[in-house]
Amino acid sequence: MTKIELFNRDGRISGFAVSGHSGYGEAGSDIVCAAVSAAVQFAECVINDVLGNHAHTKVNADEPRITLTLPARCDDEDAVQHVLTGFMLTMCTLRDNYPDYIEVMEV
C-alpha cells in the first residue's frame, strides 16, 4: 500500500511524505504508483522550478520513501499552498478510486 502523509502546521500544508508500493500491478506497469509518482514530481517541479522556492526533497530508495518539506516561508506562499492543495485533492481522489492501494493521512 502507498501511504501519503500530508504535514499540516497551523493550517499550512508544510510538505508531504509518500512511502511504499501500491501493489496494484507489477513493478513498471502499476498505474496507481505511476499516478502518485507523476503527482509528486509535478508538485516538486512547480514549487521549486516554476515558483523558485527551495523545498527540501529527500529520497530514500531503500524504503522507498520521498519527503518534501517547505521552508518556513515561501516567496509565493499562496501559489505554493494551491499546488499542495491540488496535490492533496489528487491523492484523495486516487484513494477514493483505489481504496485498497492508497492511504492518505494528515499529520
CATH number given to 2-106: 3.30.70.1490
| pLDDT band per the 50, 70, 90 thresholds, residue 27 | confident
E strands present in the chain: 2-9, 12-19, 56-60, 65-69, 102-106
Answer yes or no: is pLDDT of 61 > 90.
no
Cα distances from 62 to residues 21, 74, 95, in angstroms, run: 12, 30, 24
pLDDT digits (tens, 9 = 90+) for 72-94: 888 899 999 999 999 999 999 99
**Do residues 43 and 84 make contact, with C-beta atoms less than 8 angstroms apart?**
yes
Name the nearest CA neighbour of 104 among 96, 92, 93. 92
Rounded to two decimals, the pTM is: 0.93
